[in-house]
Amino acid sequence: MRVSSQSIVVIAEHVEGQVRSITYELAAFARILQKEMPSSDIKIVVIGDAIDKMAQIMARNTGMSVFAIHVPGLAGYNAEVYKNVLADVLTDWRPSHVCAAHSSQGMDFVPGLSFRLGAACITGVEAIVKHDEIICFRRAVCGGKIMADVHADSPMILLSVLPGSFAPDPKDASAPGSVQQRTMESAPKQSVSLGIIRKNMDASAVTEADVIVAAGRGIGDKDHLGLIYRLAALFPKSAVGGSRIVCDSGWMDYSQQIGVTGCTVAPSLYIACGISGAIQHVSGMRGSGFIVAINTDPKAAIINMSDVCIVEDLASFIPILIETHEKRYAEDTSQ
Amino acid sequence: MKLLVCVKQIPDPDAPVHVNAHGTWVDVDGSTFVMNRFDGFALEEALRIREEIPDTRIDVVSVGPERVEAVLRRSLGMGADHGIHILTGSDGYLSSFASATWIAAHARACNYDLILTGVMSGDDMNGQVGPLVAEMLHLPCATSVIFRRMMPESGRIFVEREMEGGLRDALEIRLPALLTLQSGINQPRYPSLSKMLRANRHPLDIILSDSLESPTIHLSVMQTSLPQKIRAGLILEGTPGEKARQLLDILQNRLMPA
């Protein structure tokens, strides 16, 4: 089977037998891209040993055709096998665009695969934009302070799409897409996958909180953490979270980490203290109801995604905020 | 063992950034530069491997204009044995593909057992150089490594890759190999004063990028812009006390119990 040159291939992502939601975001992304290339078609590729059921589910949910590559013995993700199998089929198909997730899997195999295919590679894509009728892919650089619109001059482009950037389309009510199958033998020679390790982390404190006060590298000093906890204590059903760098420093437990590699949260109120707003953090909290940023840098990326911003040093401002609240509370109760 | 660590010098992430006059990349004039934070984890991990396995040599490579020498000196100050500077002419945007091509050109001749680098750079945020170098050298590669254990008797390395949602992907990889390291795998040490003094006298290998194969670049940045505001971003004005009162008013209306 050959795919026309103007065609889009979506690489499905799955973990432990479950299709990850990013796959549907990739399908939505592919549809938007398809509108720019009228005669193109879209195909979803899924790779693994037990993939029949996942292939059926994706064909039903998206209405797109699914190509299921059955690799005997491949329990989960393996970089070597993914690159070998995909290099084979994509060399044959020559699609114009290949979309994968900008996730721990996608980031692992996409750049190497692009080199093998002689294709261009754009990672962390958040939007499709056009300049003078030329399609560009928008990605964040410099911790999200700047967006770069990148154009690829190449017959084949591999894209990794940032999770949370494209909402999945509603379930396709029309007929399910076709499912085609092929078996390809491919065993890794340089690596052995040993399975998934589950780190027992109880992140329920932050994922179930109504209010989250979160600290980033801007807190500067570990001693200021006490202020973050005192601020959180003003609110019922609250919790304290942190960006990755705070957890890496050992100042907070990884169960409190919010962002791409931590928890995704959506509390009613999110107070970001000393958080720059790097996309890795923001994608874990942008669904919050109301976002307040306390930051010394008025140009920090977090300002663009906050409802209210206070440009102050948190070490001096939070005590004033707590004191002001306590005074009010005392006045209220004395009346 | 022979290790190579790839380090990048980037504009200080805490300093303000500006778009250049052409609107096509970041203006680095007047910037201060630092070592990419993620590469610090890679170098620290290399130093720990050398502490575990005797007769290990650590080379550090960096691609860029003359200013890049500073991160190589810093790496030597942290304890690396030797620095290689792939010197580029211009101070403009350097694509992942170009950097990877030149690093691979250097590494191809040196038979490294293990190549380490950060999971991504703080400026370009691509995460491509590591996996590209691996592919160019036909090495197995694992990205986002958060734990590793050497298995010298079998010539392998055990690694755990960080996945989403607190999961880890465990695998064993045959050496030679390339790993990109995720933050949190270690706490990088500071350069020591005595090592820094020695580092400043240590000669670096300088390779002109022009003397290496010139990569064909398929990508161009058409335009850079500031991120769009996706929420109101109301900046409160006044004294800190006034700001505190305004904020409490706003929050009270929304959810705080009176």
Residue A1: what pLDDT? 45
Q: What contacts B207, CB < 8 A, 6 or more positions away?
A: B84, B85, B86, B87, B102, B106
B5 closest CA partner among B89, B118, B163: B118
Residue A4: what pLDDT? 47
Q: What's the pLDDT band for A128 if we cut at 50, 70, 90? A: very high
Cα–Cα dist B172/B179, whole Å: 12
Phi and psi at residue A197, to the nearest 5°: -105, 130
Mutation to test the A interface, candidates B223, B236, B242, B250, most A Cβ within 10 Å = B223
Cα–Cα dist A34/A58, whole Å: 18
Domain ranges of chain A: 7-183, 204-334
Residue A3: what pLDDT? 46
Looking at residue A202, its amino acid is D
CATH code that applies to domain B2-211: 3.40.50.620
Interval A36-43 mean pLDDT: 88
Residue A335: what pLDDT? 58
ipTM field: 0.92
pLDDT one-digit tens code per residue, A229-269: 999 999 989 999 999 999 988 899 988 999 988 888 999 99
Q: How far is B83 from chain A (nearest CA, A)?
A: 26
pTM of the model: 0.90
Q: How far is B4 from chain A (nearest CA, A)?
A: 19
Quick one: closest CA in A to B188, which residue? A249
Mutation to test the A interface, candidates B12, B25, B125, most A Cβ within 10 Å = B125
Cα–Cα dist A222/A168, whole Å: 40
What does B62-129 look like in DSSP terms, one character per residue? EEESGGGHHHHHHHHHHT-SEEEEEE-S--S---HHHHHHHHHHHHHTT--SEEEEESS-TTT----H
Q: What's the pLDDT band for A321 if we cut at 50, 70, 90? A: very high
pLDDT one-digit tens code per residue, A176-188: 999 999 999 999 9
Domain ranges of chain B: 2-211
A78 interfaces chain B, CB cutoff of 8 Å: yes
CA B157 → CA A67, A113, B18, distances in Å?
34, 23, 42
In chain A, residues with a C-beta closer than 8 Å to the C-beta of B235 are 298, 303, 309-311
DSSP A177: P
Q: Report the share of chain A in percent with pLDDT over 70.
A: 97
pLDDT one-digit tens code per residue, A157-176: 999 999 888 999 887 677 89
DSSP B217: P
pLDDT at B229 over 90: no
DSSP-derived pairing of the beta strands B82-87 and B57-64: parallel
Give me the helix-helix angle, A314-334 and A225-232, nearest 10°.
Answer: 30
Encoded tokens for A97: 């665009």
Encoded tokens for A322: 């707590």
**Mean pLDDT over each residue of chain B, to the nearest integer:** 93
Cis peptide, bond prior to residue A176, ω within 30 of zero: no
Q: Report the share of chain A in percent with pLDDT over 90.
A: 76
Cα–Cα dist B218/A110, whole Å: 16
In chain B, residues with a C-beta closer than 8 Å to the C-beta of A197 are 160, 167-170
Superfamily the domain A7-183 falls into = HUPs (3.40.50.620)
Residue B228: what pLDDT? 84
A77 closest CA partner among B163, B61, B188: B163
Cα–Cα dist A227/A311, whole Å: 17
Q: Which of A153-167, A313-327, B7-21 has the lowest mean pLDDT?
A: B7-21
Q: Report the share of chain B in percent with pLDDT over 90.
A: 74
Q: Answer whether A144 sits within 8 Å of B227, measured CB to CB.
A: yes
CA angle B82, B87, B90 (to 5 degrees): 150
Q: Answer whether A190 sits within 8 Å of B122, measured CB to CB.
A: no
pLDDT at A109 over 80: yes
DSSP A40: -
Q: What's the pLDDT band for A90 if we cut at 50, 70, 90? A: very high
Place of tokens 């509370």: A329
pLDDT one-digit tens code per residue, A41-74: 999 999 999 999 999 999 999 999 999 999 999 9
Give me the helix-helix angle, B69-78 and B193-201, nearest 10°.
Answer: 130
CA B53 → CA A56, A217, B45, B46, B142, distances in Å?
50, 34, 12, 10, 21
Architecture of the domain made up of A204-334: 3-Layer(aba) Sandwich (3.40)
CA A50 to chain centre: 25
Place of tokens 């307040």: A292
- Judge residue A200's burial from the number of C-beta atoms within 10 Å of its C-beta, 0-12 exposed, 13-18 middle, 19 or more buried: exposed
Q: Answer whether B233 sits within 8 Å of A303, measured CB to CB.
A: yes
pLDDT at A209 over 90: yes
Q: In chain A, which residue ranges form alpha helices assigned H by DSSP?
A: 22-36, 52-62, 79-93, 106-117, 204-207, 225-232, 244-248, 279-282, 314-334
Q: A7-183 with A204-334: one CATH topology?
A: yes
